Structure 1
Amino acid sequence: MRPDLLEAQACIDWVMGQLPDLSKRMDEWLARGVTIEIKELPDTNLIVAIENELLPLSFQAEVGSYINSIRSSLDILASTLVRRHSIPIAENRVYFPIMESKEKFEKGKDAQVFIQGLPALGRRLFQDLKPYQGGNEMLWMLHRLDNMRKHRRLLNVRLNPIHMWMTGTLAEGDFTPLGGEGSIQVGEETVLGLLRKGVPTPSIHTRFYVAIDEPGFVAKKPVTAVLAKLASTATFIINFFDA
């Protein structure tokens, strides 16, 4: 990699190096912070998931720092390109443009000075990237999450399990799953399924995950998978300017 791009890539490498440990610590918290219980009702029994320990705030701060590092890698890239191509724009006005709309992208003065100062292939990349809401969902979400993390908590616990299986003696119709989109929230409990009255209690195995509390492609994915995808997108852009 060209030396002037190493700092931008270092931001990404740092995030990717932290994700395995983050995933492990989140799984450890989920193992103790979420429990499965059988709740008896007159006509049926409910299998419910209960979050009995709040998600540590340290996870919120940590994930926010990773999002910021990925976003910053692109701003560092933009500063590098300004120096490389002697683009006439003040240092404190340099940023990697990701806009709320195509119109704002095309009319943004600083953004256009930056883009027009790039060689032809660089300008073509921005045409293809469409770095604005409605053009490139991945880049827009990265930009939006970096802003949102400053104002509210991004993470929540999805009690719709990635996997759910049982061991025991169950006949057809003994268990009715309500996981995924069919799960029902009742107070602090999430109903995962219905268990027929009188059925021997099975051993229930589940795997939950921590997700980013935003709509769009991030909403139903583990936060570590989202971070990896965002990092991959930034790496692709950095590598383009390394070629």
Structure 2
Amino acid sequence: MHIDILTLFPEMFEGVLNASILKRAQERNAFSYQTTNFREYTLNKHNKVDDYPYGGGAGLVLSPQPIFDAVEAVKGKTDTPPRVVLMCPQGEPYNQRKAEDFSYEEHLIIICGHYEGFDERIRQELVTDEVSIGDYVLTGGELGAMVVVDSVVRLLPGVLGNESSAPRDSFSSGLLEHPHYTRPAEFRGAQVPDVLLSGNHAKIDEWRHYQSLKRTYERRPDLLLNRALSDKEKAWIQAWKDEE
């Protein structure tokens, strides 16, 4: 996978994308990235990339020309057309399913905005996906783009040390992840559940599924609204309701 990031502040990405798992992913040739300052593509004699909105209003709007030219300049780096992702508060809420969807692509182009917003023609003509990482407003799209890159790259083959790690993550199964324990078996009076020490993998798997469902029921019941529950899951949930 290759990821192009269009931003006015490319220096923001250096520390995040060149450390830890993302650094190792590049060393293993799982992905590559390039930041492009789209200010370099403006034809404005004052080097501006924004202007006042037609019709009046507060703030400045990013102009279409430099972003169109920057996207066209970074296209064609793979055999397949890129997904062009716009980071913006009005976009589709970002989640694990979207990260998995992006992870199958060969080329992502991520556009980070600033100021009041984008000229609408950028959305209409360039963009394939609009993404928001939450119901709040940031000073720019850079932090959101980092979140997208991290969540996508960790799903690529060979990036995580244990290939079974990603499918067990919270949200990958539609449920929150079960509790984890490690050595020692007793710490300050708190014990590791006996089932995890039993060596019975069938019972361990059932315990983990039970705990995962219970944690989801207690913390994120909205995730269960459209889930096709098994008879066993329905019985567990009914028992928790009865206890309440």
What TM-score does the superposition give when structure 2 sets the normalisation length? 0.29
Tell me: higher relative CO, structure 1 or 2? Use CA pairs within 8 A at least 6 residues apart. 1
Pick the structure with more helix per residue. Answer: 1
What TM-score does the superposition give when structure 1 sets the normalisation length? 0.29
